[in-house]
Amino acid sequence: MLSYPTVRASLLFLAIAVAGLFVADIAITTANPWRDLGQFFIGVATPNFFSTEGLLTALLRTVAFGFVGVALGSFFGFLLALVYRFLPVRIFCAFIRAIHELFWALIFLQFFGFHPLTGVLAIAIPYAGIFAKVYSEILEESDPEPSRLLPPGTSAVAAFLYARIPDCWVQIRTYTAYRLECGLRSSAILGFVGLPTLGFYLESSFSQGMYSDAGAMLILFYVLIATMPIWVRPKLLPAYLLAAPFFLGEGFPIVWGNVQRFFTEDIVPFPIRNGEGLTGLSSWLGDLMITEALPGIWNTIVLTQIALVATGLLSLLAFPLISKHFGGPVRRTSGHVLLVIARSTPEYILAYILLQLWGPSMLPAVVALALHNGGIIGHLIGRQTNTIELRPDAPTGFTRYSWELVPRVYRSFLAFLFYRWEIIMRETAILGILGIYTLGFYVDSAIQNIQFDRAMILILITASLNIGVDVLGRTIRRKLALQTMPTC
Amino acid sequence: MITRQIRKWLISGVLALVATSTVNAQTFVFTAIPDEDETRLVERFRGIADYLSEQLEVDVRYIPVKSYAAAVSAFRNNQVQLAWFGGLSGVQARALVPGSEALAQGVEDQAFYNYFIAHKSTGLERADKLPEGVRGKTFTFGSKGSTSGRLIPEYHIRDQFKEPPESVFSRVGFSGNHTRTLRLVESGTYQVGALNYKVWDKELEDGNINTDDVKVIWKTPGFPNYQWTIRGDVDDRFGEGFKNKVRQALLNLDDPALLESFPREGFIPASNDDYEPIRSVASELGIID
């Protein structure tokens, strides 16, 4: 078995994660974690839909921010995809998507404040970077044959519209619809930093232990996501898109002087603002690196590696839940429900809930990341096994699982996992805002101390780390000859 | 034809977006640091908004925010003109907004103090100084930007142990606000915590604390804390003498229910210089540049 490169890679990552467990802080620190968890489930079982007058408005805002953000992101992403072959464009896109929506929101909050633009841009900018990459991959893979058959003199635009787009239209549409779902999740969590979406009320109810109120919000959110195929119809889309900007809420007027101040003063490193020159800057940077950046990077990497392997293990355990090769329709339906809940709850919300219940350590973060990402990969792999036809005399039970199915899906499983590596790291960094000592913790501290120069440097470090992992993930996928379609 | 229609819609959509965002230009908006349970804050400050609106004869609106920094940023960006800040957030805000002034503070804010509290499992008892026994325990601050939840406790920890909190305690966390610090230490999630005495006293009075599980182990010396701070440019925007009207309205506030919601005995005049001790401690700890 060791002669397979995929097995060797898996064992290497497993070993790193196990080593990580020895240095990671994975304690449960609450005195009564199970009682709290029980109270939470009782809350979900007895939802109170009438707690906040603003609940429906928050739901509406969540949808509005999601639609406007994703629409703008997809529009600009498409334009960028057309010029994606130029290296500067690729670097630019990699950079804007390496910064998490919440970090973008925290940045815009400093100069746009509570204006709808803050939330819209926080979604649109990183999404444009992702759309650009995926659209360009889709366009690249379209069949070149039709354009060769066009008569000479056909304009480039016509050739593009009539020979390229039709071939990949379905893929573009499917992917965009899928990102819309991601957009709703992103929109919901923006509430955690103060925008008027669902997360705003979820955070309030949770931090006050009002689990029935929080339960109601979670249920509404699942219903919203699960019913998307019903209410998101191609024919209705233009109407939604036109209406969405009107439902973003009023916010407060933008003061343009604030924007200028942010870029010309706030983010200029303190020693330079203070006229201390390069010597001042280097000692300031050195201090920042040693006291904040390095511990943050270390914790981010440790947590990412543990969460990555936990995600992998959970996906392998979860996919039989929806596979037609195991169990009857009842088991599969409940499996579907479980996986839908796991993957439609944003990691941030899962981690927030678990942190409240178990206390601050890396454990809630690992479990949250594994549940959400394992839910997604488990779903994709499970669906893939449904296309596999086994011989009528194929073994059953555990032998079927381990000798028939896992080997057949293992390569695509690894492909998905390495694809999500960068996404897991992006989330790991952001979970620091919740009090785990990853890079996000230090970014949040800098912002809380109104030291935006420090915050910006730490965000740039986070972005570089994500880009590094993205490149590494792609290299490994290429080395192992793994192919995949993107997920979010 | 259709494209023209769509273009018209789009343009009106954009215009509406712009229009709705400037409609509230003459509303006097204030915020407060989120130092306690949000339900309680919203209740308290809606009452204040009604009171100020009546006294000042302008629309007054309170907006809740999610962090101390968000309150400071909203004040700095002129999206709110008045704020109920803690000692530290007030110092930060006034440094960022030239011309802004501390208007009024609670009677109790002249000499505010903190409690260090401990879970029963630690066996720690109340003492005249921070007990040596807290070493090696788990500890939670309140919010990162809080005066009584972060700045003052950290100052005293460093002063007594000559070490940063991370080396004194086995685990250091930030609960988010005072109410949560109380709940987390009461439930044993953290063994020791530091919080604002007002929150402790009020919860105790309301019967919300199980004193078998959690007790006060040390009371800090006094320091200046909460205050109302207003931007310097409000007179330009709301008319000559507006700032004084706001100050008078706050000083005259005598509705017992409103005062009880803070809880403060009443408000007295304050000045920027009153908060110099806070500024120098924050600067010493590197929290402000």
The span from the CA of B140 to the CA of B150, in Å, is 9
B126 with B251, same domain? no
**Domain membership flag for residue B242:** yes
A24 with A80, same domain? no
A487: left (phi over 0), alpha (psi -120 to 50) or beta: beta
Which of these ranges, A149-153, A369-373, B243-247, B270-274, has the smallest mean pLDDT? A149-153
Provide the number of structural domains found in chain A. Answer: 2
pLDDT tens by residue, A129-147: 999 999 999 998 888 888 8
pTM for the full predicted model? 0.89
Distance between start and end Cα atoms, chain B: 60
Domain's final residue, options B219, B241, B257: B219
Among positive and negative, which fits the CA dihedral A307, A308, A309, A311? positive
Given CB atoms, is B19 within the 8 Å cutoff of chain A?
Answer: no
**Among partner residues B24, B119, B145, which is closest to A448 by beta-carbon distance?**
B145
B128 with B86, same domain? no
A239 with A386, same domain? no
The span from the CA of A413 to the CA of A406, in Å, is 9
Q: Is the pLDDT of residue B176 over 70?
A: yes
A179 with A313, same domain? no
Q: Rounded to the nearest 10 degrees, what angle do helices A198-207 and A211-226 cross at?
A: 150
A137 with A5, same domain? no
**Domain membership flag for residue B229:** yes
**Domain membership flag for residue B1:** no
Given CB atoms, is B28 within the 8 Å cutoff of chain A?
Answer: no
Residue of chain B minimizing CA distance to A360: B173
B75 with B41, same domain? yes
Which of these ranges, A14-23, A32-41, A407-416, has the smallest mean pLDDT? A32-41
The span from the CA of A100 to the CA of A469, in Å, is 15
Residue of chain B minimizing CA distance to A447: B69
Is residue A229 packed enough to be buried (19+ CB in 10 Å), middle (13-18) or exposed (0-12)? exposed
Q: Is the pLDDT of residue B10 over 60?
A: no
**Among partner residues B25, B173, B177, which is closest to A253 by beta-carbon distance?**
B25
- Check residue A487 and give its pLDDT: 57
User: How high is the mean pLDDT of chain B?
Assistant: 89
**Domain membership flag for residue A193:** yes
Given CB atoms, is B3 within the 8 Å cutoff of chain A?
Answer: no
B38 with B77, same domain? yes
Residue of chain A minimizing CA distance to B177: A207
B118 with B211, same domain? yes
B117 with B214, same domain? yes
**Domain membership flag for residue B279:** yes
Q: Are A351 and A342 in contact (CB under 8 A)?
A: no
The span from the CA of A354 to the CA of A356, in Å, is 5
**Domain membership flag for residue A127:** yes
Which of B145, B159, B286 is CA-nearest to residue B220? B159
Domain that holds residue A148: 52-250
The span from the CA of A176 to the CA of A464, in Å, is 26
Which residues in chain B touch residue A203, judged by CB atoms under 8 angstroms apart? 66
The span from the CA of A81 to the CA of A4, in Å, is 36
The span from the CA of A432 to the CA of B174, in Å, is 12
**Among partner residues B24, B179, B189, which is closest to A250 by beta-carbon distance?**
B24
Q: Give me the mean pLDDT over the A396-403 stretch.
A: 91
Given CB atoms, is B13 within the 8 Å cutoff of chain A?
Answer: yes
Find which of A207, A247, A256 to mutate to test the B interface (most B CBs within 10 Å of its CB). A207
**Domain membership flag for residue A293:** yes
Q: Confidence class of residue B17 from pLDDT cuts 50, 70 and 90?
A: very low
A138 with A17, same domain? no
pLDDT tens by residue, B21-55: 443 458 999 999 999 888 889 889 999 999 999 99
**Domain membership flag for residue A43:** no
Contact B144 A444 (CB under 8 A): yes
Q: Is the pLDDT of residue A353 over 90?
A: no
**Domain membership flag for residue B259:** yes
Which residues in chain B touch residue A252, judged by CB atoms under 8 angstroms apart? 21, 24, 29, 74, 79
Q: Are B223 and B87 in contact (CB under 8 A)?
A: yes
Tokens coding A128:
């444009």
B21 with B117, same domain? no
A222 with A180, same domain? yes
Find which of A448, A451, A452, A453 to mutate to test the B interface (most B CBs within 10 Å of its CB). A448
Q: Give me the mean pLDDT over the B248-262 stretch.
A: 93
Residues composing chain A: 488
SS3 annotation, chain A: CCCCHHHHHHHHHHHHHHHHHHHCCCCCCCCCHHHHHHHHHHHHHCCCCCCCCCHHHHHHHHHHHHHHHHHHHHHHHHHHHHCCCCHHHHHHHHHHHHCCHHHHHHHHHHHCCCCHHHHHHHHHHHHHHHHHHHHHHHHHCCCCHHHHCCCCCCCHHHHHHHHHHHHHHHHHHHHHHHHHHHHHHHHHHHHHHCCCCHHHHHHHHHHCCCHHHHHHHHHHHHHHHHCHHHHCCCCCHHHHHHHHHHHCCCCCCCCHHHHHHHHHHHCCCHHHHCCCHHHHHHHHHHHHHHHHHHHHHHHHHHHHHHHHHHHHHHHHHHHHHHCCCCCCHHHHHHHHHHHHHHHHCCHHHHHHHHHHHHCCCHHHHHHHHHHHHHHHHHHHHHHHHCCCCCCCCCCCHHHHHHHHHHHHHHHHHHHHHHHHHHHHHHHHHHHHHHCCCCHHHHHHHHHHCCCHHHHHHHHHHHHHHHHHHHHHHHHHHHHCCCCCCCCC
Distance of CA A252 to the CA centre of its chain: 28
User: Hey, what long-range contacts does A2-7 have (CB within 8 A, 24 or more apart)?
Assistant: A5/A479, A5/A480, A6/A410, A6/A411, A6/A414, A6/A480
The span from the CA of A200 to the CA of A192, in Å, is 5
B257 with B196, same domain? no
- Check residue A484 and give its pLDDT: 63
Q: Is the pLDDT of residue B185 over 90?
A: yes
Q: Of residues A467 and B39, which shows the higher confidence score?
A: A467
Q: Give me the mean pLDDT over the A472-480 stretch.
A: 91
pLDDT tens by residue, B129-174: 999 999 999 999 999 989 999 999 999 999 999 999 999 999 999 9
pLDDT tens by residue, A297-340: 999 999 999 999 999 999 999 999 999 998 788 888 899 989 98
Q: Give me the mean pLDDT over the A156-164 stretch.
A: 86
* CATH (domain of A69): 1.10.3720.10
Which of A210, A184, A212 is CA-nearest to residue A199? A184
* CATH (domain of B157): 3.40.190.10
A210 with A246, same domain? yes
Give, in order, the Cα–Cα distances in Å from A215 to each of A222, A227, B27: 11, 18, 35
Over pLDDT 90: what percentage of chain A?
66
Tokens coding A307:
């969460």
Q: Are B237 and B213 in contact (CB under 8 A)?
A: no
The span from the CA of A55 to the CA of A220, in Å, is 10
CA distance B271 to chain A (A): 22
A417 with A295, same domain? yes
Q: Give me the mean pLDDT over the B79-105 stretch.
A: 95
Given CB atoms, is B66 within the 8 Å cutoff of chain A?
Answer: yes
- Check residue A300 and give its pLDDT: 97
A94 with A194, same domain? yes
Interface of A with B (CB under 8 A): 25, 29-32, 109-111, 113-116, 192-194, 200, 203-204, 207-209, 242, 245-246, 248, 250-255, 258, 270, 274, 359-360, 435, 444-445, 447-451
B105 with B168, same domain? no
Residues 6+ positions from A34 with CB-CB distance below 8 Å: none
pLDDT tens by residue, A405-418: 999 999 999 999 99
Given CB atoms, is B285 within the 8 Å cutoff of chain A?
Answer: no
Residue A449 carries which side chain, given as an amino acid letter?
N
The span from the CA of A480 to the CA of A24, in Å, is 29
**Domain membership flag for residue B2:** no
Q: Are A400 and A454 in contact (CB under 8 A)?
A: no
Contact B77 A246 (CB under 8 A): no
Domain that holds residue B183: 113-219
Q: Of residues A251 and A422, which shows the higher confidence score?
A: A422
**Among partner residues A109, A209, A246, which is closest to B16 by beta-carbon distance?**
A246
Tokens coding B229:
């701070």
Give, in order, the Cα–Cα distances in Å from B47 to each of B43, B104, B243, B259: 7, 18, 20, 10
CA distance A419 to chain B (A): 33
A372 with A476, same domain? yes
Give, in order, the Cα–Cα distances in Å from A69 to each of A193, A255, A268, B191: 17, 22, 29, 44
Find which of A32, A118, A252, A445 to mutate to test the B interface (most B CBs within 10 Å of its CB). A252
Contact B189 A204 (CB under 8 A): no
The span from the CA of A85 to the CA of A93, in Å, is 11
CA distance B281 to chain A (A): 14
Size of interface A-B (CB pairs under 8 A): 115
Domain's final residue, options B196, B219, B242: B219
Q: What are phi and psi of B15, to 5 degrees?
A: -60, -40
Residue of chain A minimizing CA distance to B96: A450
Contact A114 B74 (CB under 8 A): yes
Find which of A25, A114, A291 to mutate to test the B interface (most B CBs within 10 Å of its CB). A114
Given CB atoms, is B258 within the 8 Å cutoff of chain A?
Answer: no
Cis status, amide bond into B131, omega within 30 of 0: no
Domain's final residue, options B202, B219, B236: B219
**Domain membership flag for residue A170:** yes
CA distance B75 to chain A (A): 10
Contact B17 A30 (CB under 8 A): no
B91 with B233, same domain? yes
**Domain membership flag for residue B12:** yes
**Domain membership flag for residue B289:** no
B238 with B100, same domain? yes
SS3 annotation, chain B: CHHHHHHHHHHHHHHHHHHHHHCCCCCEEEEECCCCCHHHHHHHHHHHHHHHHHHHCCCEEECCCCCHHHHHHHHHCCCCCEEEECHHHHHHHHHHCCCCEEEEEEHHHHHECEEEEEEHHHCCCCCCCCCHHHCCCEEEECCCCCHHHHHHHHHHHHHHHCCCHHHHCCEEEECCCHHHHHHHHHCCCCCEEEEEHHHHHHHHHCCCCCCCCEEEEEECCCECCCEEEECCCHHHHHCCCHHHHHHHHHHHCCCHHHHHHCCCCCEEECCHHHHHHHHHHHHHCCCCC
CA distance A193 to chain B (A): 6
Provide the number of structural domains found in chain B. Answer: 2
Which residues in chain A touch residue B7, judged by CB atoms under 8 angstroms apart? none
A246 with A337, same domain? no
A59 with A132, same domain? yes
Which residues in chain B touch residue A444, judged by CB atoms under 8 angstroms apart? 144
Among positive and negative, which fits the CA dihedral A64, A66, A67, A69? positive
